[in-house]
Copies of this chain bind each other. A is one copy, B any other.
């Protein structure tokens, strides 16, 4: 009998393969998931499988309490972080996690990525937040679950919305990104990596480079995402 999650698995599989095609991962690094809100489950990459060997049927279906609903393989070791985010952010459709080079470098440097230009402002109006490394107790406890808490706390502390800022750096670790679909989450991972690289180079050229001014931030974000947006097709 055909799985009722065949389409969901295919979406998840394709988003994972795109992560690989976009040079955001090597070997088994990284993972993407796609959610099915109706059935309260998500599809996620199996743990430790190289992208070249990944098949749609390897994708694992997990519910928001981290129970495996369908699949022969162990899900990604980061599964609990995905589950936590899906449970708490009820409007997101996909999540991606990579170890992309420039994103990781900023995470290891434990610095927010300043908004320096319109490439950044076309996608979000704030600095890209870097959540501080977790307290030891949280690390030793339910680590991947607590990673999710750490992300939510960071957004609360900085008073930013996960709908407007669809990406975060985890201090010493790397980026998580999300969006209304798995494919959009991967898109955000690629944009983050490119913005991280541009910001890095900007500071090398001019250590005193100023943040983008508010009027330009607003203009570029509004023309793409505002109610009178004129970027893209209707």
Check B213 against A136 for contact (C-beta < 8 Å).
yes
A95 at the interface (CB under 8 A from B): no
Residues of chain B within 8 A of A116, CB atoms compared: 108, 172
Find residues 158-209 in chain A having any chain B CB closer than 8 Å to their own CB.
172-174, 187, 190-191, 194, 197-206, 209
Q: Which chain B positions have C-beta within 8 A of A205?
A: 105-106, 109, 111, 200, 203
A46 at the binding interface (Cβ < 8 Å):
yes
Query: How distant is A127 from chain B, measured CB to nearest CB, in Å?
Result: 14
B101 touches A216 (CB 8 A): no
Establish whether residues A216 and B47, one from each chain, have CB atoms under 8 Å apart when the complex forms. Answer: no
- Residues of chain B contacted by A202 (CB below 8 angstroms): 105, 108-109
A140 vs B216: C-alpha distance when bound (angstroms): 8
User: Does A131 interact with chain B (Cβ within 8 Å)?
Assistant: no
Given A108-B116, A200-B204 in contact, is the A27-B223 Cβ separation under 8 Å?
A: no
Measured in the bound complex, the distance between the Cα atoms of B220 and A99 in whole Å is 14
A68 CB to closest chain B CB, in angstroms? 13
B173 touches A118 (CB 8 A): yes
- In the complex, the answer to whether B203 meets A200 with C-beta atoms within 8 Å is no
Contact A233 B74 (CB under 8 A): yes
Alpha-carbon gap, A7 to B220, bound state (A): 33
Contact B73 A233 (CB under 8 A): yes
Further pairs besides A77-B230, A105-B204, A118-B173: 4, Cβ < 8 Å: A74-B233, A108-B199, A173-B216, A203-B205
